[in-house]
Amino acid sequence: MTTEPVVRTRTDRRRERTRNALLGAARQFLSEGRSAVSIQEITDAADVGFGSFYNHFDSKDQLFDEAVRSALQVYSELRDGIVAHYDDPAEVFAVSFRMTGRLQRRIPQMVRVVLNSGMGVLLRDEGLAPRARRDIGAAQEAGRFEPMDPDLAVMAAGGALLGLLQLLDADPDADADALSDDMTYRTLRMFGMTKRTAQRLSTGPLPDLPQL
């Protein structure tokens, strides 16, 4: 049985453009740490009518939550494509960590949206946390990482990653590659890996970053 293609009308396309414009404006404000803006300021920045806002979102909080979700989705899709060809869960974790630091230089606005969401981003059901939880759990089951409470493990790894991203965001001249690899090494050591193995996983060749 074949599925009929979805036909998008001109109205559908207009609504999608308006929604994306509102999300883009919200991400810009969040990346600047400006969450105390009014809906009027958001619609002005998006260049859409004030009344259009409520055709897409019930409140500013809902819009901002969706803006964070969309930023995490961009990260997730990039990350999943990067690690798709790795089988060792410890290597998946290491490559993901190393590449996330490097992505800060490619998508700084998206990273600032995540950073300005604070540690609470590690409690969300999308993005960083569920992938870290899955990778760490798989590495523990495979005997690659020492056992650790999963919630503590996610917060420990996530805190290290957010700290790395904050450092890179604060210093545009910092060597993102070197700092990302060093933080990956130290995080792997925290999970019980030997110096030799942690060094190998944090310095090996990486796939090319995807085109954005």
Which pLDDT does position 195 carry in this prediction? 97
Give me the residues of the chain with pLDDT under 70, please: 1-8, 211-212
Amino acid, res. 74: V
Q: How far apart are CA 193 and CA 190, in angstroms?
A: 7
**Domains assigned to the chain:** 11-57 (1.10.10.60), 65-203 (1.10.357.10)
Query: What is the per-residue pLDDT for 85?
Result: 87
pLDDT at 10: 79
- Rounded to two decimals, the pTM is 0.86
Q: Which amino acid is at 97?
A: F
- DSSP per position, 47-86: TS-GGGGGGT-SSHHHHHHHHHHHHHHHHHHHHHHHHTT-
Q: Note the pLDDT of residue 9.
A: 81
Q: With H, G, I as helix, E, B as strand and everything else as coil, classify residue 5.
A: coil
Residues 102 and 195: their CA atoms lie apart, in Å, by: 23
pLDDT value at residue 161: 95
Average pLDDT of every residue of the chain:
91
Amino acid at 86: Y
**Nearest CA among 124, 31, 55 for reference residue 39:** 55
Q: How far apart are CA 194 and CA 144, in angstroms?
A: 10
